[in-house]
Amino acid sequence: MKDILINGVKKAGEILKEDFYRPKTVSNKGVADLVTETDLKIEEFLKKYFYKQLPDYKFVGEETSLDLSFKEKCLIVDPIDGTTNFVHRFPFVGISVGVYENLNPVAATVFNPIMDELYYAEVGKGAFLNGSRIFVSTQSKIENSLLATGFPYGFVEKNKKDILAKLEKILSNSRGVRRAGAASLDLCYVARGVFDGYYEGGLKPWDVAAGVLIVSEAGGKISNMNGGNFSFEDEYIVASNKIIHNELIEVLCGI
């Protein structure tokens, strides 16, 4: 499984890297929700590749899949996480693949070919960046934490007041907030101990399917905004180094 996943995202990464500095053909799926020919090219490549390599797994891709049931064995794929970054040549872009069985992640990879960062995790076997083990931070004080968040296309319009209220609380209770623009990599940066915590509302399964396992296998915690088990139906995801998790939720919810 590991070699199949890594070889697949590395081949897909060659497509992304080749197009990164080229002029792009951009379409709008929604308000500031972009898709490019490269998103479609990578998804098509990965669909064919995994059909050959993992024929027992259903392919669920952001750009072409209509059946979003995850009950059977499936690969949940975001061909380019951070398409806006890709279009504007901001190098925080990830190819994300989560391998799921019975609704649970069993393996995951996120590859940023521009910064040459390959994240991999398998349940019970740890999380890795370019082959070296990674672990969440040991930061115990939220006021000394570097946090991250995002503002999903469309979700912002409907929830602007709540999003700004959360941002105001976080800004007053941390060292700072980063909005880097690729949720899968935001989660990987929690796993490697760069971000001490991350939260975002309105994400889709392919944004987080791989990152949640990478955070957990790096010793971090993933929950919904109530601190309960996160599922794809939850409005918010919260990820952290586990130590600041409850305090992060208290700050976000104004408890």
Residues with a known catalytic role: 62, 78, 80-81, 83, 207
State how far the alpha carbon of 79 is from the alpha carbons of 36, 190, 214, 251, in Å: 11, 21, 18, 33
In the bound complex, what is the minimum distance in angstroms from residue 107's beta carbon to ligand IPD?
A: 20
* Ranges of H-type helices in the chain: 2-20, 37-53, 83-87, 155-172, 183-191, 205-208, 211-217, 245-253
Contacting range for ligand IPD; rule: CB under 6 A; set: 64-72, 115-123, 138-146, 199-207: 199-207
Pick the closer one to ligand IPD by CB: 29 or 73.
29
Q: 88-122 in b/e burial notation, b at 16+ Cβ within 10 A?
A: eeeebbbbbbbbbbeeebbbbbbbbbbeebbbbbb
Question: Tokens representing 51?
Answer: 């059909």
In the bound complex, what is the minimum distance in angstroms from residue 154's beta carbon to ligand IPD?
A: 8
- Residue position matching structure tokens 């700050």: 251
In the bound complex, what is the minimum distance in angstroms from residue 3's beta carbon to ligand IPD?
A: 26
Contacting range for Ca ion; rule: CB under 5 A; set: 73-81, 167-175, 222-230, 244-252: 73-81
Q: Which of 19, 43, 81, 196 binds ligand IPD (CB under 6 A)?
A: 81
Sheet of 104-112: strand order equals 58-61, 74-81, 94-101, 104-112, 117-122, 127-129, 132-133
Question: Which entry of Ca ion, ligand IPD, none binds 193, CB below 5 to 8 A by partner kind?
Answer: none
Q: Is 81 in the site for Ca ion (CB under 5 A)?
A: yes
Question: Tokens representing 137?
Answer: 């931070």
- Residue position matching structure tokens 């791989």: 210
Contacts to ligand IPD from residues 135-154, by CB under 6 A: 150, 152-153
In the bound complex, what is the minimum distance in angstroms from residue 140's beta carbon to ligand IPD?
A: 27
Contacting range for ligand IPD; rule: CB under 6 A; set: 47-55, 127-135, 175-183, 246-254: 175-183
Pairing verdict, β 117-122 and 104-112:
antiparallel
In the bound complex, what is the minimum distance in angstroms from residue 4's beta carbon to Ca ion?
A: 21
- What's the one-letter identity of residue 28? N
- Binding positions for ligand IPD, rule: CB under 6 A: 78, 81-84, 150, 152-153, 181-183, 200, 203, 207
- Binding positions for Ca ion, rule: CB under 5 A: 62, 78, 80-81, 207
